[in-house]
Amino acid sequence: MIRKTVFGTVMAFLVIVALTTQAGAYLLDMPSPAPRLGSTVAGLSATGGMAPVAEHGPRAVGVRTVDSDEAPVAMTLWYPAVEPEEIRELAYAYGVTIFSPDSSVAFATFPGHATPGAAYDLTGGPYPLVVVSPGFAVTGSSYAWLAEQVVSHGFVVVAPEHRESLDPSGLWRATINRPVDVLAVLDHLDIESRLGGEYGGLIDIGTVAVVGHSYGGYTAIATAGARLDTEVFSETCAAAYADDDPLTFQCDALDGRSDDMAALSRLERVPTGLWPAVADDRIRAVVSIAGDAAMFGTDGLKEVTVPVMAIGGTADTDSPFAWGTRFAYEHVSSTRKIEIALEGAGHMVFAGGCDHMRRVESLVSLGFCSDPGWDRHEAHDIVEHYVTTFLRAELRADPDARAALAPSRQDVPEITYRAEGF
């Protein structure tokens, strides 16, 4: 979830609007950055005959947008595509929905190489499905950098647009609605993946992973079977307030809203202990990137048995590492699980690309593209490498990928790596 980093952005953005109204288009321009010369992260080229998955895979990528009148929610679909005659660079927007779920503001753009509307490549299908759940109020296109990478290695990726805007007072609704969104998308794709459907031969709907950043990480863990425990969360929040823990921002948004959450869930009363699960057996693995997990408590996380990868930055104060990445890793019941800590990284380094930023960012720091101590491209390279390897291991039963995840095989100095079952 975007918390302290973005909470102040709402007011800052109003200032920006006033500034740009007077200053004209110059402040809204996105000047070209210096060219990227490739990753400088050491240790990502896997050994033992396995291709370095930090590299783009062999498959061409297509992209399509699906409106909310065609599916339960609007979504973006990336898929293996027939090789186009010419691959042209396109620009993705890294944006957030600020004033309403239907209007987004782009703070930056970054390049991609998918072909809009390209024909499906069914020769290797059906392909495992990966649902990418964006951060709170962040647009799905913001994660195109990861989607294109995953698809190039033989998967289909869908990013739902959760209907929310950048207002922490709506977080309790997102807590209930987001897992429901994911399951509704799976049901929709299940129907459309049957013979004669739009995605027939393209999607293997029985082999699914959910990947999420920030509150998308919460969403991923929830759809894997984690269950809310609002009683324990209230106790955790009481201790957090006493210790001035960064978790208090989440507590402000959720603690005390149990009645509202139960009503939205169509429950007669607030459950005692664990809440009902909102999970799906089609989900075979999950990845939480700087995700939230405190609301589940230890007992709620124990309900998760599918393979889990938890990635986070140790300097994250929006989704505190101890309460998100580490808490999830240590308490899920999964026999195969991985924790990856990017030392000194914050929260938003895992979000959209910032290759072309608005000049106004230099006047009012919005936090979306500020990554002290880390190069965003390097962070993305690490995430791409490990997420793609994990998905190959779990959704394709790739023995080389599974072997590459063994702790003894890791040689990336910027991270701390833990794993069980590999």
| Percent of the chain's residues with pLDDT above 90 | 74
For residues 363 and 160, give the distance between their C-alpha atoms in angstroms, rounded to a whole number.
Answer: 32
Say what the pLDDT of residue 49 is.
Answer: 38
Predicted confidence band of residue 53 (pLDDT cuts 50, 70, 90): low
> Regarding predicted confidence, which is higher, 202 or 12?
202
- With a cut of 80, say whether residue 31 has pLDDT above it: no
Say what the pLDDT of residue 203 is.
Answer: 98
Contacts with 39 (C-beta within 8 Å, 6 or more apart), sequence order: 54, 377, 378, 381
* Residue boundaries of the structural domains of the chain: 4-31+47-420
Kindly compute the dihedral angle of the four CA atoms of residues 412, 417, 420, 422, in this order, to the nearest 10 degrees: -10
Q: Which of 65-79, 88-102, 128-142 has the lowest mean pLDDT?
A: 88-102
Mean pLDDT, range 240-252, rounded to an integer: 92
Predicted confidence band of residue 356 (pLDDT cuts 50, 70, 90): confident
- With a cut of 90, say whether residue 18 has pLDDT above it: no
Q: Tell me the pLDDT tens digit for each residue of 303-345.
A: 999 999 999 999 999 999 999 999 999 999 999 999 999 999 9
Q: Which of 98-107, 230-239, 350-359 has the lowest mean pLDDT?
A: 98-107
How many residues can be counted in the chain?
Answer: 422
Say what the pLDDT of residue 206 is.
Answer: 97
Give the predicted TM-score (pTM) of the model: 0.91
Average pLDDT score over the chain: 88
- With a cut of 90, say whether residue 202 has pLDDT above it: yes
User: Considering only the top CATH level, what class is 4-31+47-420?
Assistant: alpha beta
- With a cut of 90, say whether residue 115 has pLDDT above it: yes
Say what the pLDDT of residue 181 is.
Answer: 97
Mean pLDDT, range 252-279, rounded to an integer: 96
Range with the largest mean pLDDT of 11-20, 84-93, 102-111, 151-160: 151-160
Say what the pLDDT of residue 37 is.
Answer: 36
Mean pLDDT, range 123-151, rounded to an integer: 97
Predicted confidence band of residue 1 (pLDDT cuts 50, 70, 90): low
Mean pLDDT, range 90-98, rounded to an integer: 89
Mean pLDDT, range 121-132, rounded to an integer: 97
- With a cut of 70, say whether residue 13 has pLDDT above it: no
105 alpha-carbon distance from chain centroid: 19
- With a cut of 60, say whether residue 16 has pLDDT above it: no
User: Contacts by 43-50 with C-beta closer than 8 Å and gap 24+?
Assistant: 43/410, 43/411, 43/412, 43/413, 44/381, 44/382, 44/385, 44/412, 46/389, 46/400, 46/404, 46/409, 47/409, 48/400, 48/403, 48/404, 48/409, 49/400, 50/400, 50/401, 50/403, 50/404
Say what the pLDDT of residue 51 is.
Answer: 45
